Amino acid sequence: MRHSSSSTGNQARLARSDSASISQCFNLTRWILGGAIFVYAASIIIWQHKTLNIRFAAISLEDTFPHFVRETSSRRPKLNSSIAKERRDVNESLYDVMQHYRTPAQILQSPQLPDWVKQYTEWHAKQRKRYIDAIKNNSTPPEDIHFLIARCLSRDKCGGASDRLQDMPYNLMLANQTNRVLLIKWDKPARLEHYLVPPDGGINWTISDDMFQAGDNWHLRGKETGNDRIVSTIRRDSAAPIFRKYEVDDLGYKIYHEIFRLLFRPSDDLAIRITETMNDLGLVPSMYSSIHLRMKYPIGGINERTFSFERFKDRIIGWAKNAVNCAAELHPNSTAFYVTADNNDTVGYLLRDSPFAKHYSDAIANNREPLIKLVARDYSSEVEHVAFSNTKEADGFMNVFEDMMILGFGKCVAHGLGGYGRLGAALSGGVCATAHRGKYSKACADVLAKTSAFDTGTFKKMTKVQNNLKASND
């Protein structure tokens, strides 16, 4: 009996041992498989990350025309919340351009910012909150809170984006002088919030749906100094010149770019586009400069709606060449020059057929340092003008605001006719700017004739910037 019992115990122990061995084998296999999956995933991530950096460096050194004609539809689908999230995830591997966008906290600490701007920013927040709190509590809003609304409603004639936005510093000054809370309301081409939103800690100019009643009179022709609760304005041709005069005569320096950033930051969708474009083109804030070309400006027989590149080709080429030469004169050591225009054929000429394009291609092919590098975002479709376009889709105008903000991120701006270029110059600081066409423009010397005077450190500087960007992503 003892022998039988011992035999049975041995068998049980062997069974347990076999079971333990199988379990250990299973666990070992699971760990090996898990490790393999981890290594595979890590390899894919690293490969994708390196590919992004390699592509980034390649784009910055190749001829930019192939990038110029790339299809927008495949690279920029209409954004919804899920697509926007996916693109934000992708953009985590890109250089964070928006870190260079000054915040209200930084701006309000500037000793150059006038005290009235700082005081109004604080006062505006308190008054707007008082009014909204009263509405939420179903109370009568305080009678001492009055508003100035900069508007563009469906039947208003507001002009283009720059016509409206150039007025804002003056509107802010007027609202301060008359103790009114500045608000902004756009219905066309879309709500302004689709493109620009108030920054945290800045001036919240938005109008919630329950803020005013449908029958409220916005007194378009009302007096700001009067007792009407709401006074509204569309656009004033005199507003921007008045504020520029204030900067020159009273301050002695520019503050438009600071006030703009107290009022606006790019919406999330716009910020994604800006980040993608600037990374694609190798643009680092303040290291590049910009060239603005307004070819359809209605002067000298040119009509916005019937414009033809071929019809005015000789004149356009002359204007475009002078624009590039003026930009190079402003910023001779620029890593690149960002080209924006209201006509895609003009951009195509500069990036493909111009002497500047040929010079750049030849320099790269022969391992020489180029005198000038022109870049542009995808211009396979014409830029829509906010005032004249029949486009109903809000995203159809996104490139208007994208170009505007990229102009503002650069160091210098050589601009053409109209307010859009002046706005871009103001956003960049307004100090390093010149008009290459118009009453106060000048004929600039040919940059390609200045080979002996070229700073030979430019190409090395550009390469160093690219390497720094790559290192920041590693």
Distance CA 360, CA 448 (A): 10
Pick the residue with more confidence: 394 or 86?
394
Distance CA 206, CA 125 (A): 12
CB 320 within 8 A of CB 349: yes
Indicate the pLDDT class of residue 307, thresholds 50, 70 and 90: confident
pLDDT tens track for 267-292: 999 999 999 999 999 999 999 999 99
Distance CA 403, CA 222 (A): 35
Q: Across-strand partners of 292?
A: 340
Mean pLDDT of 404-415: 98
Q: At 34, list the tokens.
A: 């898990």
Q: What is the 3-state secondary structure (H, E, C) of 391-410?
A: CCCHHHHHHHHHHHHHHHHC
pLDDT tens track for 146-179: 999 999 998 898 888 888 999 999 999 999 999 9
Distance CA 68, CA 60 (A): 13
Please spell the DSSP secondary structure of 295-352, one letter per residue. TT-S-TT--TTT--TTTTHHHHHHHHHHHHHHHHHH-TT-S-EEEEES-HHHHHIIII
The total number of residues shown for the chain amounts to 474
Four-point Cα dihedral 96, 276, 289, 258, nearest 10: -50
Mean pLDDT of 19-40: 54
Mean pLDDT, the chain, whole residue set = 81
Distance CA 52, CA 472 (A): 13
Measured over all CA atoms, what is the biggest interatomic distance in the chain, rounded to whole angstroms?
Answer: 120
Indicate the pLDDT class of residue 27, thresholds 50, 70 and 90: low
Pick the residue with more confidence: 64 or 106?
106
Distance CA 463, CA 440 (A): 36
Which is nearest to 135 in space by CA: 184, 67, 208?
Answer: 208
List helix spans (H) across 62-160. Answer: 65-68, 72-75, 81-91, 104-108, 115-136
Helix (H) or strand (E) holding 16: helix 2-61
- Ordered by start, the domain boundaries in the chain are 1-61, 64-93+267-473, 104-263
Indicate the pLDDT class of residue 467, thresholds 50, 70 and 90: low
Put residue 286 in one of left, alpha, beta given phi > 0 → left and psi -120 to 50 → alpha.
left
Which is nearest to 381 in space by CA: 76, 167, 147?
Answer: 76
